Amino acid sequence: MKKLAITMGDPGGVGPEIIIKALYCAEIRNFCTPIVIGDRVVMEEAVNLLKLPLKLRVIKSPEDTVSEIGVIELIDMGEIKYFDKGNATAKNGRAFASWIKKAVVLALNKKVDGIVTAPISKEALRMAGFKWPGHTEMLADLTGTKDYAMMLVGGPLKVILVTIHTALKNVPDLITKSKVLKTIRLAKRACDMLNIRNPRIAVAGLNPHAGEAGIFGDEEIRKIIPAVEEAQKEGITVSGPYPPDTVFHKAYKGDVDIVVCMYHDQGLIPLKMLAFDKGVNVTIGLPFIRTSPDHGTAYDIAWKGIANPSSMIEAIKMAAMLRM
């Protein structure tokens, strides 16, 4: 089975709790050998909070795993002696950044087969002095990856994004033919990783009615259509641009396998409506598999024992089934 590094996420959020609940789930052991990257202080407190019959076993490297029932294996980074709960802090940001970096080193050195990342706080990352706007950009930078994209999977929908974390007013200028074409290619790669043969890729327009022949905007004519046509010449089965208010229905019915979306909320709103508790974030383009729950740190419910682990469970299972 694949060995998966599971980074603990922001210690002040729900990451430690959902990891423990997910690893307590018997079916996870049938999918992979999980190795938590984080701090023993945090994980011990989370185990005590949840009162589950689990023990921690500290290991130095993935080679030391024995995968015992009822045991969570942890690489203890020893970053923090105490931590803040329920809010973003620079200390927590520095800690979770070090855990992510460790997981990346292990993955690049083939010590683990993939990474599953628990949620982090973008605010805490910034407070700690890092300029990455999120997990995706951080992982791309740490691995020197230039062509990458965020794919979200939930229920019957799979969406992949041309632009990610940026203000909506910036999106039209950031949409270019080359970026759309790159994302279409990455959509094809994503389907290969999911073992979808002969995938059907649909591209969403940026404007209402996909621009209505230029009446509501010409980004489709100038940028998106040329990218679709070039991808078709490369042999990729791709169509569009479709009006954004209809293309997700096509995906929901199973008429297409993945939708290329122009901006963050265009893809995430329909996906979260259908699969809020089970959505999975996958970074396409990295030299290793990376998945994550499709939700944030949930500071408001952190350390109360009530966080839902469903998305983390799905993220672990997907990391185990994806192929490079």
pLDDT score of 122: 93
Amino acid identity, position 234: E
Both structure tokens of 176: 């270019």
DSSP 8-class letter at 165: S
Both structure tokens of 3: 């060995």
CATH code, domain carrying 113 = 3.40.718.10
Based on the fold, state whether residues 127 and 4 are members of the same structural domain: yes
The answer to whether the bond into 133 is cis (omega within 30° of 0) is no
pLDDT score of 125: 95
Based on the fold, state whether residues 182 and 124 are members of the same structural domain: no
**Structural domain boundaries enclosing 266:** 146-285
pLDDT score of 78: 93
pLDDT score of 102: 98
Dist. CA 12–CA 4, nearest whole Å:
23
Based on the fold, state whether residues 113 and 234 are members of the same structural domain: no
Over residues 158-169, the pLDDT tens digits come to 999 999 888 999
Number of structural domains (the chain) is: 2
pTM given for the model: 0.93
Based on the fold, state whether residues 38 and 155 are members of the same structural domain: no
Based on the fold, state whether residues 11 and 139 are members of the same structural domain: yes
- Each residue's pLDDT, cut to its tens digit, for the chain (324 residues) gives 899 999 999 999 999 999 999 999 888 888 899 999 999 999 999 999 999 999 999 999 999 998 888 999 999 999 988 899 999 999 999 999 999 999 999 999 999 999 999 999 999 999 999 999 889 999 999 999 999 999 999 989 999 999 988 899 999 999 999 999 999 999 999 999 999 999 999 999 999 999 888 888 999 999 999 999 999 999 999 999 999 999 999 999 999 999 999 999 999 999 999 998 899 999 999 999 999 999 999 999 999 999 999 999 999 999 999 998
Dist. CA 25–CA 247, nearest whole Å:
36
Based on the fold, state whether residues 137 and 150 are members of the same structural domain: no
Based on the fold, state whether residues 184 and 278 are members of the same structural domain: yes
Based on the fold, state whether residues 277 and 182 are members of the same structural domain: yes
pLDDT score of 215: 86
